[in-house]
Amino acid sequence: MRVTGGKVRGTRLKTLPRRSIRPTTGVVKRAIFSLLENRPTNWSRVLDLYAGSGALGIEALSRRAEWVDFVDHRRSCCDIIRANLETTGELQRAHVYCCTVNKALSFLDSSYDIIFMDPPYSDPSAGSLLSNLARSKLPAQDSTIVLCHANRMPLDSLYDGLRLVKQRRYGDTFISIYQKEV
């Protein structure tokens, strides 16, 4: 897996074996960042939930994000994220939280401009996670939430102030972009 754009484009990232995580493909990453770059989105603070190898957050750092917080509950993923941040020279512009997403939602208190959510496709709780996220103080006014999910998982167009503004399908992967409404 490689960074697809920005200042560290082409840098190879470490990942766990395929059977333990489902890395976001290069095609889907390029699509996500194409969608984001064509929106009036602030890139100051980014949150990468279910970070895995950290590929989405590192891609954001490579392109123009100022700070990224990564969250994953698996120690092996947290170690890989730190190694990938070191490889890309971005360790000083990030923090890795090795805990569950629900726990992170309970203690993180900064607002974020972009929030990536890439839960396991077998996890049926994306809708409730969007509701919990919407009720938290993490999305700022006009925040963009990018959710990668299986095409077999139906989602609502509105979650407590998060409104679906765009959706694209790439094979078995849907990219749903929600915007925090005022």
User: Is residue 84 pLDDT above 60, yes or no?
Assistant: yes
What is the b/e burial string over 100-132, where b = at least 16 CB atoms within 10 angstroms of the residue's CB?
ebeebbeebeebbbbbbbbbebeeeebeebbbb
CA trace torsion 151, 50, 139, 105 (10° rounding): 120
With cut-offs at 50, 70 and 90, classify the pLDDT of residue 22: low
Most confident listed range (16-20, 24-28, 105-109): 105-109
3-class SS of residue 60: helix
Q: Give 141: exposed, middle or buried? Use CB within 10 Å, 0-12, 13-18, 19+.
A: exposed
Residues 107-157: tens digit of each pLDDT: 999 999 999 998 887 777 777 888 899 989 899 888 999 998 877 777 889
The domains found in the chain, sorted by start residue, are: 42-180 (3.40.50.150)
The pTM (predicted TM-score) of the whole model is: 0.92
